[in-house]
């Protein structure tokens, strides 16, 4: 059975879901996106993802041709039509069809696409054994050049970093800003554990404010753990007791080696495992219902 795709108010099969080659999302990466997860028949943090989508749209002066509630309803209906109890949602809003010039004024209406499918960013054993990561040479853009707070379709910066990861034979990458401070992974936020305390990079160094990141920060408060948003260097990673990445696609993935240095014991630590278990329970017990 073909996936059912939402495309500008219509529900079409995967093979029929097409956009114009004149769409500025294709021509220039002019658009925004979100990645959401379905767990146990519910869309996790749907409202938060929709809010971030509309914040990104406002930042780049992109008018979404739907209200927030219409966007929520479209997500639920697309998920329902695909019948998945567990899956992934990729939502895109492009500037729409326009001329071959970059001027957004040539695009009279944005294009909205909602895709529901399966996803597996890492093999199952990596969640048990952890991954090896390397620092990449590709830097995150300065926040006054291209803010990472906008979840933009222009993802070439991340793609270039991922190419370096692949060439190094690693599973993940650490991206620095132009001051040499740790920002995030190629597609994930980062948490560090040292001497029983937790640290994560602050927004001003140049990171996406992740929905999963915020969820972990809330869970840390519930657990009574000391969590600080603090500027981190590679040294802080090398001497950490535990490190893990977070993201809607990757969920929580342990990091056990950074640039050849073994992290902690070389296996996922107790704090990381606690968050993996707690996050699994949270996502399977909460969320926006699809089939009710």
- Catalytic (active-site) positions: 151
Q: Which residue's structure tokens are 């597996």?
A: 120
Measure CA 211 to chain center.
8
C-alpha–C-alpha distance, residues 250 and 252, integer Å = 6
Distance of CA 79 to the CA centre of its chain: 19
Q: Per-residue DSSP letters for 226-290?
A: -EEE----HHHHHT-SEEEEEETTTEEEEEEEETTEEPTTSS--HHHHHHHHHHHHHHHH-SEES
Q: Cα–Cα distance between 254 and 51 in angstroms, integer?
A: 28
Number of C-beta neighbours around residue 243 at 10 A = 29
**d(Cα 186, Cα 136) in Å, to the nearest integer?**
9
- Residue 288 DSSP SS3: strand
124: Cβ contacts below 8 Å, ≥ 6 apart = none
Nearest to 49 by CA among 10, 79, 92: 92
Half-sphere exposure (Cβ direction) of 28: Cα atoms closer than 13 Å: 17
Token couple for 128: 């048990």
- Give which of 59, 232, 61 is closest to 148, Cα–Cα: 59
């Amino acid at each position: 059975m073909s996936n059912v795709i939402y495309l500008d108010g219509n529900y079409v099969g995967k093979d029929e879901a097409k956009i114009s080659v004149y769409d500025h999302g294709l021509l220039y990466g002019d658009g925004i996106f979100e990645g959401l997860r379905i767990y146990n028949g519910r869309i996790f943090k749907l409202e938060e993802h929709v809010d971030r989508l509309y914040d990104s749209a406002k930042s780049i002066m992109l008018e979404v041709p739907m209200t927030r509630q219409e966007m929520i309803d479209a997500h639920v209906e697309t998920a329902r039509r695909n019948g998945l109890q567990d899956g992934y949602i990729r939502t895109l809003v492009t500037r729409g069809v326009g001329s071959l010039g970059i001027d957004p004024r040539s695009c009279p209406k944005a294009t909205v696409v909602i895709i529901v499918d399966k996803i597996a960013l890492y093999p199952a054993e990596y969640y048990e054994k952890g991954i090896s990561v390397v620092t990449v040479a590709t830097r995150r853009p300065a926040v006054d050049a291209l803010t990472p707070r906008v979840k933009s379709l222009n993802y070439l910066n991340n793609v270039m970093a991922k190419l370096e990861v692949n060439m190094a034979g690693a599973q993940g990458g650490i991206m620095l800003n132009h001051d040499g401070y740790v920002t995030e992974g190629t597609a994930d936020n980062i948490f560090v554990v040292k001497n029983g305390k937790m640290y994560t990079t602050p927004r001003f160094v140049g990171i996406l404010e992740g929905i999963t990141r915020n969820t972990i920060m809330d869970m840390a408060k519930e657990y009574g753990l000391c969590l600080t948003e603090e500027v981190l260097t590679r040294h802080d990673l090398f001497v950490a007791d535990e490190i893990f990445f977070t993201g809607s696609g990757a969920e929580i993935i342990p990091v056990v080696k950074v640039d050849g240095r073994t992290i902690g014991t070389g296996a996922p630590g107790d704090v990381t495992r606690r968050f993996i278990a707690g996050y699994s329970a949270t996502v399977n017990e909460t969320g926006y219902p699809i089939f009710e």
